[in-house]
A and B are shown apart, each in its own frame.
Chain A
């Protein structure tokens, strides 16, 4: 299905939901579940948290659908909701980790080494790249995912992250630099800067 078909499908589903047919929201879930789950997985780096945050994002989108303007693309609006929820989850986890001081090392280890992204991707090349993306700081990770992988403009990314367009460009620049350096370190003979 092309992007235009998908957009008109989404618009039709949104109008049906707004006129009282909650079941029509299933179509929206079907279209966006994979993209949204991938985003929350990158943001949280935790498979069960990703599932919970993505579910919450869909439910919140349903309950606040009146606030959505059908003239704008749906996914950036949905992504904004899920970024906020993921940020809240990360803050709660950081507070919990800080409170339970002796678990800090464990949590950090599982976040980096576990890398559910890499575990869920088949194929060596995808796995390695996901691992590098997952190692980025949260802001860069989110910017890279939303702009490069999910095709949102820098303006839409800025709105989703609650920052300016200039900040998004800076995050993307830094992320690209780190990914380049990581690739060069892993394959010193083959990659060039």
Chain B
């Protein structure tokens, strides 16, 4: 299709079925990449303007009620030891906890064990506390 033939282009715009398939694919891919590249530039500018975040940030975790065993600073080890995980805790939850610790500490800490904190309010009790304190 001649790109500078305005009547042909106008006809194609009125009827998208006549646009060559490869043209649609090219337009689509180029536009997706272009828009996301623009977003990358915007994010980098935004990051530079607002600066990096505070170093220690409280992580919002889905497993807020689980309390991990206190972590100790890692001693130099030749062979990394996997953490001791209480039965019933899915591997993905452990992966998320370890990834969070790793991200926050930069690899300075190693998770030794994961367990569920036994002494806590039941679900109903927790819901009652949340409902009562939520307005505040």
**Is the A/B pair a real complex?**
no
Chain A residues packing against B (C-beta within 8 Å): none
Chain B residues packing against A (C-beta within 8 Å): none
